[in-house]
Amino acid sequence: MEALDRLARTLVLGALLDVLRDRHGGFELVAHWKQGEFHHDVVVRLPAEPFDLPGAVLVIATNCNGGVKEVLSFAEVPDRWALWRHRCPDNPEFEGTIPTLLGSARTHHWFEPCELLTPDARSELRPEHRRRQRGGGWEPR
């Protein structure tokens, strides 16, 4: 998993994507999922089976500033809600099962993602200007 750790240690989404372009000939942006105000999952697929990574599908979890928190590697794209069920198995609003997780790497930006979903989770939006997302977290009305 050394290559996955090196990717995560770029610490910034833009730099990580640059590495994918340079080392793997690019990537396909599959999805961008936002959960709450402070968590993004960017899902990319590499154009060919990677020579140094466990799988061709990466889920790059970032904070709101593009700081890389975690990189997950799969052979196929996971379902959004199954991914959150994997992260927060006690949350009844998430369901499904992720495909086999082939590898993962966390950085110092990582923190327990379920904390973003509690009813008293931090928000930069005033209560009258936000609504709760499925599973928790806030989004603008």
pLDDT in tens, 4-27: 999 999 999 999 999 999 999 999
**Annotated domain spans of the chain:** 2-134
**Helix or strand (DSSP H, E) at 56:** none
Q: Is the pLDDT of residue 33 over 90?
A: yes
Instruction: Check residue 1 and give its pLDDT.
Output: 61
**pTM given for the model:** 0.94
pLDDT digits (tens, 9 = 90+) for 82-127: 999 999 999 999 999 999 999 999 999 998 999 989 999 889 999 9
Half-sphere exposure of 47 toward its Cβ, with a 13 Å CA cutoff?
8
Closest CA to 124 of 53, 38, 31, 6: 38
Bridge partners, 35 (sequence order): 39
Q: What whole-number distance in Å separates Cα of residue 118 and Cα of residue 128?
A: 18
